[in-house]
Amino acid sequence: MSKPITPLQRTGARGSNRDLVRQHNLSVLLQMIHLNGTVSRSSLTSATGLNRSTISDLVSELVQLGFVTESETDSPTGVGRPSLMVSASNRVVAFSVHPEVDATTIGVVTLAGNVLHTKRVPMPRHPSAADSVQTAAKAIEELREELDKDQLIAGVGVAIPGQVRVEDNVVRLAPQMGWIEEPFGSMLSQATGLPVFVDNDASIGCMAEANFGAAKDFTEVVFLYAGSGGIGGGAIVNGTQLRGASGYGGELGHVRIGEGSTKDYSGLSGTLESLVRRDDLLHAFKMFAATDEELDLEIAGNKSAKTQKLIEQQIDALGTGISSYVNIFNPEVIVLAGFLTSLLNYDAERLVRNIKTGALNASAERVVVRAGELGPNLLMIGAAELPFHRVLESPAETKLVSAHKKR
Amino acid sequence: MSKPITPLQRTGARGSNRDLVRQHNLSVLLQMIHLNGTVSRSSLTSATGLNRSTISDLVSELVQLGFVTESETDSPTGVGRPSLMVSASNRVVAFSVHPEVDATTIGVVTLAGNVLHTKRVPMPRHPSAADSVQTAAKAIEELREELDKDQLIAGVGVAIPGQVRVEDNVVRLAPQMGWIEEPFGSMLSQATGLPVFVDNDASIGCMAEANFGAAKDFTEVVFLYAGSGGIGGGAIVNGTQLRGASGYGGELGHVRIGEGSTKDYSGLSGTLESLVRRDDLLHAFKMFAATDEELDLEIAGNKSAKTQKLIEQQIDALGTGISSYVNIFNPEVIVLAGFLTSLLNYDAERLVRNIKTGALNASAERVVVRAGELGPNLLMIGAAELPFHRVLESPAETKLVSAHKKR
DNA sequence: GTATTATGTTGCCCTAGCCAACAAAAAGAA
DNA sequence: TTCTTTTTGTTGGCTAGGGCAACATAATAC
């Protein structure tokens, strides 16, 4: 330590040397290909501003690395020599894991965004973290056997219904399952021998909708996701996911919007989660367990005055909550997922009216409310993005794991 | 249009060609120097990861451009040849403008962060935008005459107590002054012949505290600023300012936290701004106009039970509001400015207790509450950052205006 | 004074991206 | 068909910005 100089404040940006330029360009290209599915070389050229010959060089490096494939256009459009099409490869895959209170779901997703398999393993009520890890590891083992020999594994992404400390992949609190301070990441990593990345389910859903779904073309997004475990949220600010200091950011379900006395799953009262409760709806409809589809049918076909009032109360509470998020984030789009879509479909006009009442005119004037588009694949696609992210950041440097273990 | 390809989704990142590398490196260096005041060449070397010789080359280009100066260390520390010190130059300046309901404040700030002059011009009640522009332009003209001949002007930054559409520098709504849809930026730009950048006052304050004040070393920040015009807010997410789609983001004062019936300055009820009101305090202390310092003395020296209750109510409301922001942003630090500092100083323990009650344990465990550090210079320093930002982004490309007009 | 350590300076090298020329593949016009 | 026009891929050489190594310089340590 030569000088007691503060580590040069938050100018995160490092200098670029030549290698970083190459790395950056490879990364930008691969990201574009990953997000857009299949793109022509010519559109990559115009989008990046790089030279034709440079694109050619970079793409062939990505081909050699196994991340992308090139093919000729099947339907040339316009004059001129048709541009070669570049697609993300299905060779590179990631596993997704979603532990819930009654089941654990495991899936395989390719870098091209295809969900190859999913497997839902029912669990005894309130599984321990160790149970879930074991279930997941076993399923991954089986799914891995089904992969082709030349496929490469980027890692495992885990979506947790609870708060996750992302720096060390520890589940801080998953209230529904009763998990406290569980090192889920290192447990699963040890069990599978693969790199594991853990994050909150709603944050992951937000990222998925932002990358591939209803928020695809926006940089300012608010996302609300309601499942059986309460209401989670996420936000995209300036094109990047809101994470916060430790990764707990985006807990939009736990924001106080009123004086209610019932508490939410985390013990807070007056929050959005405490006022918009799936269980209350199930109870009113005299249902026990129900899928979102079943509940949606009930809500859509509702005739009783009593349940109508409940639904409207929930819509109003949701609108009040969203209006706060509009004032805070000034988003371009608000994406609703889980059974919140049913509320939106029931009376979108009422919801929007409520949002406009509680929000500043300027902030609300251009906002759009949408339902999520990814449906049941939401968390599978989203969780896979976690390991993929590392690959996309530095394609040439990241070492992938071969699908079949060496003996 | 060869192919109907969507403009290649939100991968904002362009490719880097060689010129961009140079530009980027110059920008990174100048930002570090601007934020840290004076730094040694050796610390620039280690912070950027670039080679000694490269730093030498880049710094001398910045010297030649007039942005920085080099000097020898006055007090060498440690073994080895002492490193040259690099400082931001006072040659480059920006003007700051802060229109308020009863006065307009204008200042000159150098790239090194020195506030050379400030000028507070009292205004008749409820000045029109044109009045404020004229006052500001006149003051800028005068201040400009006092500059040295070789000084360079980066532009003008304006802090508005209201909502600003940043894309075209239009004041959407400044409720206290009654401005609606005023093109303040283009008006002032026309009057001065300088580039003008307009933004919300609280957002600007947030940026200033994040760059130079209480939040200097953090990347996740929530900022609350209470002046005579209500409560404004700002947030730093992942090291960059939250702006939202149009620039209205960060309106933390207008977030609903309770059922109160009194309305805030924007007509919303139950919001933080409607519950924590400066006027209520002034009224309780039987004061009319008062500076923050005067009010602070009254609050600190308070003995009456009645006013104590009011103060505590406000602290509690503030705590409730902040707890929501903690859940949303999971910040490292919360910075309070304006008379909110007085509330913090009055009973910090009570405030923190309230925050912890309303927030998730995990999100709140490491959060720190602080008073702002920049005091009366907050908005002057902050507003100047707007024009400086453009310079810092591309030092070699941005054309600056000479201090003395050519005849 | 000498050794050690850290930094500034200089000249040369290396490589990633650019450029220009040419080839190839489509559409349009004769 | 044939020729032109337009767009893209390919190739070889060029260029500039950052790395590197050797040397000079200025501080501390002994």
pLDDT digits (tens, 9 = 90+) for B186-216: 999 999 999 999 999 999 999 999 999 999 9
Nearest one of B164, B187, B21, B33 to B110, comparing CA atoms: B33
Measure the CA angle with vertex B336, ends B333 and B338; round to 5°: 165
What predicted TM-score, i.e. pTM, was given to this entire model?
Answer: 0.93
User: What does the pLDDT read at residue B12?
Assistant: 53
DSSP E strands in A3-101: the ranges are 38-40, 68-71, 85-88, 92-99
In the three-class reduction of DSSP (H, G, I as helix; E, B as strand; rest coil), residue A24 is classed as helix
Check A8 against B47: CB less than 8 A apart.
Answer: yes
User: What does the pLDDT read at residue B268?
Assistant: 79
User: What does the pLDDT read at residue A12?
Assistant: 54
| Count of residues in chain A | 407
User: What does the pLDDT read at residue B124?
Assistant: 86
| Nucleotide lying nearest to A1, CA to C1' measure | C6
- Which positions ≥6 away from A309 have C-beta within 8 Å? none
Helix (H) / strand (E) containing A143: helix A129-145
Using alpha carbons, list the distances in angstroms from residue A301 to A148, A294, A298, A312.
47, 11, 5, 14
User: What does the pLDDT read at residue B11?
Assistant: 54
DSSP E strands in B133-258: the ranges are 152-160, 163-165, 170-174, 179-182, 196-200, 221-227, 230-237, 240-241
Strand C: list positions under 7 Å from protein Cβ. Answer: 4-11, 15-20, 23-28
Nearest residue in chain A measured CA to CA from B259: A258
Round to whole Å and give the CA distance between A298 and B39: 66
pLDDT digits (tens, 9 = 90+) for A291-345: 888 999 999 987 788 899 999 999 999 999 999 999 999 999 999 999 999 999 9
Residues of B in contact with A238 (CB under 8 A): 237-238, 240, 242-243
Check B2 against A77: CB less than 8 A apart.
Answer: yes
| Residue to test with chain A: of B20, B330, B385, B392, most A Cβ within 10 A | B330
User: What does the pLDDT read at residue B5?
Assistant: 35
Which of B3, B27, B40 is opposite residue A5, by nearest beta carbon?
B40
Round to whole Å and give the CA distance between A163 and B113: 40
Residue A139: pLDDT band (50, 70, 90) is: very high
User: What does the pLDDT read at residue B2?
Assistant: 31
pLDDT digits (tens, 9 = 90+) for A256-300: 887 766 777 777 778 999 999 998 999 999 888 788 889 999 999
Residues of B in contact with A251 (CB under 8 A): 327-328, 330, 360, 363
| Residue to test with chain A: of B24, B256, B271, most A Cβ within 10 A | B256
Give me the total of CB pairs closer than 8 Å, taking one residue from chain A and one from chain B: 285
Which two three-digit tokens encode residue B89?
A: 């130059």
User: What does the pLDDT read at residue B161?
Assistant: 94
Round to whole Å and give the CA distance between A308 and A274: 19
Positions of chain B with pLDDT under 50 = 1-7, 407
Measured between CA atoms, how close is A351 to chain B, in angstroms? 17
Check A254 against B327: CB less than 8 A apart.
Answer: yes
Specify whether the CB–CB gap between B16 and A21 falls below 8 A.
yes
Residues 367-406, chain A, CB closer than 7 Å to nucleic strand D: none
User: What does the pLDDT read at residue B88?
Assistant: 96
Residue A405's Cβ-count burial label (10 Å; 0-12, 13-18, 19+) is exposed
Nearest one of A20, A356, A228 to B51, comparing CA atoms: A20
Check B10 against A217: CB less than 8 A apart.
Answer: yes
pLDDT digits (tens, 9 = 90+) for B328-354: 999 999 999 999 999 999 999 999 999
| Nucleotide lying nearest to A2, CA to C1' measure | C6
Residues of A in contact with B220 (CB under 8 A): 244-245, 249
Residues 81-110, chain A, CB closer than 7 Å to nucleic strand D: 81-84
Residue B41's Cβ-count burial label (10 Å; 0-12, 13-18, 19+) is middle
Residues of B in contact with A36 (CB under 8 A): 5-6, 8-9
Which of B14, B24, B330 is opposite residue A16, by nearest beta carbon?
B24
